[in-house]
Amino acid sequence: MTAEVAVPVGDVDLGATLAGLAWLAGDPTLRCVPGRFERATVTPEGTAAVEVAWRDGAAEARVRAHGPGADRLLDGAPGLLGLEDDVTGFDPADPPLRDLWRRHRRERIPRTGTVWHDVAWLVVQQRVTRQDAAAQWRRLVTGLGAPVPGLPSVTAPPTPDRVARLDPAGLHRWGIERRRGEALIGAARACLRLHAQDDADPATVLAVLGGVRGIGPWTTASLATCTWGDADAVPPGDAGLPARVAWTLAREERADDARMLELLEPHRPHRQRVVRLALHAPPPPRRAPRGRRHDIRPR
């Protein structure tokens, strides 16, 4: 199935908004270039893909979806494009946040609506460098995923039923150790149950996934933003985020989660928006060496 709609985009910067989903270099599920965005994913109806095309300054974007879940992706297109992200009341008065917002005020927080895709992608990123996570996600998707008919340029991640049948040791071939492997398999089994309850609200979904061993607050907070566009969620336990926020808001080179949350508190319900603006700002002076990479794949 293939279907297409035109979506009015208002003043949203689609390029900057959709680039917010491109965390991992070489992600085979996603392609984001000027004027075009493609993403293959998994829905309760099956694998599907969405493509968005636009021209700068145009009043609308063309959104086309393919596969059994095409209708779901078209229904979710306004959220994916950031059109449902409400910035009302966010008007920082002091620099540098005021100046960052002036430069990036057309950027919005996208909402994917794809729980399984997002939680699998986030579990792979736990406790490893971004470079390692990108390589492991790429191997996992190309090894177990599949292209969606109608958009062969991107590959859908493996379905939860396929991952649910894996043994954690079997994930070593893609570089994923037992701890993350168990979390990934547990998340897949939870998502199979959730797909059978299609009307489950975000709080219920987050509670179920948060109960999976190996999935903690960093993953659930990141999921709240990626899947539902939560503009106030703040992921704790991120190695570099507290210092980045503290440097931007208070010129403090070091900070922990408690200090980050203290600095973000006045900005409710837009704390995630402030975090994203901080990531656009220059980082604090670097003091610590980079984490060592560790490849567990069989030689």
Residue 209 CB neighbour total at 10 angstroms: 24
Residues in contact with 117: Cβ distance below 8 Å, sequence separation at least 6, in sequence order? 29, 41, 42, 157
pLDDT of the residue at 198:
62
Give the max Cα distance, the chain: 56
pLDDT of the residue at 57:
84
pLDDT of the residue at 299:
46
pLDDT of the residue at 1:
81
Looking at 3.30.310.20, 1.10.1740.10, 3.90.650.10, 3.20.20.300, the CATH number of the domain 2-86 comes to 3.30.310.20
The ranges assigned to domains in the chain are 2-86, 115-228, 241-280
Residue 11, SS3? coil
Instruction: Round to whole Å and give the CA distance between 231 and 227.
Output: 11
Q: What is the CATH code for 115-228? A: 1.10.340.30
pLDDT of the residue at 196:
67
Q: What is the pLDDT of residues 202-255, one digit of tens each?
A: 999 999 999 999 999 999 999 999 999 999 999 999 989 999 999 999 999 999
Structural tokens at position 185: 């398999």
pLDDT averaged per 10 residues, the chain (length 299): 92 96 96 97 95 93 96 96 97 96 97 97 95 96 94 96 93 93 97 79 95 97 97 95 97 96 98 97 77 57
Residues in contact with 262: Cβ distance below 8 Å, sequence separation at least 6, in sequence order? none
Instruction: Round to whole Å and give the CA distance between 32 and 9.
Output: 17
pLDDT of the residue at 242:
97
